[in-house]
Copies of this chain bind each other. A is one copy, B any other.
Amino acid sequence: MSETLPDIKEFKKEVNSWVTNNKPAPPRFLMPQSFMEVGSDEQFEYLREWQEKVYNAGYLGMSWPKEYGGGGMPQIYQDIVNKELVAQNTPFMVNTLGLNWAGPLILNMGSDEQKKAYIKKILSTEEIWCQGFSEPDYGSDLGNAQLKAERDGNEFVLNGSKIWTTLATQAQRMILLARTNPNTESKYDGLTFFLAPMNVDGIDAQPIKKLTGEHGFCQTFFNDARISDDCIIGKEGGGWLVAMKTLMFERGAEGGQAGGHMSMPVSAEEVAELSKRVYREGDLASQDPVVRDELVKLLMRGKAMSLNNARAKIPALVSERPTSISMSSKMLSTELSRSIGELATSLQGSNSLYFVGDDSAIDSGRWQRTYFQAFSGTIGGGTTQIQKNIIGERVLGLPKT
């Protein structure tokens, strides 16, 4: 890419042609729908290679600073690439956590050394990142994190465990929230945020078998694992603020992500499309009046979420409860995924009895897996039930349960 910015129209053409010529052939396995679902080395390697290729072509991290490995260009170029990658249905970027959360965080709050050390490797897939936030016994309330990090000279000694550490077995780095001081008055003040290496004695990532029967998320154990205090981002004892910042990136409330797309979400439209090629009672499922009613309800839920996003940008239309839409979108989208999986499966008559791995399974069993996989969303990051408490209290002002 030249130093002068390319013409937008020309650039669009160029990207279109590059993606067309370089996108990978469809894999033999049932494609995961996000990095959270990557369950085998084969899947991982397929996706990693694709991200590397996109980066090498200059199409990832385009708006990140050049000195750290980015493209140093305006965001619009990355947006054009993103759109094309989606439009051509290419695989998502597997280093999702690095590109979307850890990377922007480091660029925003990290030291120059940290930026130099990590940013380029995030883009190139040299270093895969995972997240150490949730703990097995403390639900999803990050403020309760109990993993101990005790200072010993200029090192910290880590003990405890983290769950939902997706890709931990592949990762070289983890964003880690740990308790460096158990005696603070507020529980939030004892936390510190680390950019921790994974390849350290005493850190052991164990893959956990999901309810689908596949692997794809991990529990990571820390037994007297030692990391340098260079790994701290933000201040010692200031981890809560860094974690909140990270969540802003995670939820897309703040920009600066490297680009590419991070998931291939299922949509209600796809279920509608499915209904026109599967049979129920000897006729297309889309012809059953009650099924049609259910499909329309599902389509409306999907459409409403898109429209909510559009409306959220118009202050006059969200002035009364400005956080209502953003605070409920995780709950609504994950519950929608579950409903999508459930309805799409039930459309298939007795063929819904098949599962991923059977040649007779419709769409390779994608819908059955969508259903089960959806629970990662309705449970992880605060269950739907907890989300409703939070929305009821913070948006509607109701008293605490």
What is the bound-complex CA distance between A289 and B290, given in angstroms? 7
Q: Does A293 contact B (CB under 8 A)?
A: yes
User: What chain B residues lie within 8 Å of A289 (beta carbons)?
Assistant: 289-290
Interface of A is mostly: helix
Beta-carbon nearest neighbor of A288 in chain B? B289
Q: Which residues of B contact A293 (CB under 8 A)?
A: 290, 293
Report how many copies the assembly holds: 2
Using a CB-CB cutoff of 8 Å, which residues 234-293 of chain A contact chain B?
289-290, 293
Task: For the complex, give the distance between the alpha carbons of A290 and B289 in Å.
Answer: 7
Interface size counted on chain A using CB atoms at 8 A: 3
Closest to A293 in B: B290
Considering only residues 273-320 of chain A, those with a C-beta below 8 Å from chain B are: 289-290, 293
Q: Give CA–CA (A289, B293) in the complex, Å.
A: 10
Q: How far is the CA of A290 from the CA of B293 in the complex (A)?
A: 7
Please indicate the chain B residues that have their CB under 8 angstroms from the CB of A290 in the complex: 289-290, 293
Nearest-CB distance from A245 to chain B (Å)? 37
Complex CA distance for A290 and B294, rounded to whole angstroms: 10
Distance (Å) between the CB of A295 and the closest chain B CB?
12
Task: Tell me the minimal C-beta distance from A37 to chain B in angstroms.
Answer: 34
How far in angstroms is the closest Cβ of chain B from A285? Answer: 14
Give chain B nearest CB distance to A289 CB in angstroms: 4
CB distance from A377 to the nearest CB of B (A): 26
Q: Mark A88-125, 1 if CB is under 8 A from B, else 0.
A: 00000000000000000000000000000000000000
For residue A66, give the distance in angstroms from its CB to the closest CB of chain B.
Answer: 58
Shortest CB distance A283–B (Å): 13
Q: How far is the CA of A289 from the CA of B289 in the complex (A)?
A: 6
| CB nearest neighbor in B for A401 | B401
Q: How far is the CA of A195 from the CA of B289 in the complex (A)?
A: 58
Shortest Cβ gap from A100 to chain B (Å): 40
CA distance A249 to B290 in the complex (A): 44
Shortest CB–CB separation between residue A47 and chain B, in angstroms? 43
User: In the complex, what distance in Å separates the CA atom of A293 from the CA atom of B288?
Assistant: 12
Q: Interface digits, A167-178 against B, CB 8 Å rule (1 contact, 0 not)?
A: 000000000000
CA distance A289 to B291 in the complex (A): 10
Question: What 0/1 readout, one digit per residue, does chain A (209-246) give for beta carbons within 8 Å of chain B?
Answer: 00000000000000000000000000000000000000
- The smallest beta-carbon distance between A286 and chain B, in angstroms, is 14
Contacts A/B (CB < 8 Å), 5 sampled: A289-B289, A289-B290, A290-B290, A290-B293, A293-B293
Nearest 5 Cβ contacts at the A-B interface: A289-B289, A290-B293, A289-B290, A290-B290, A293-B293
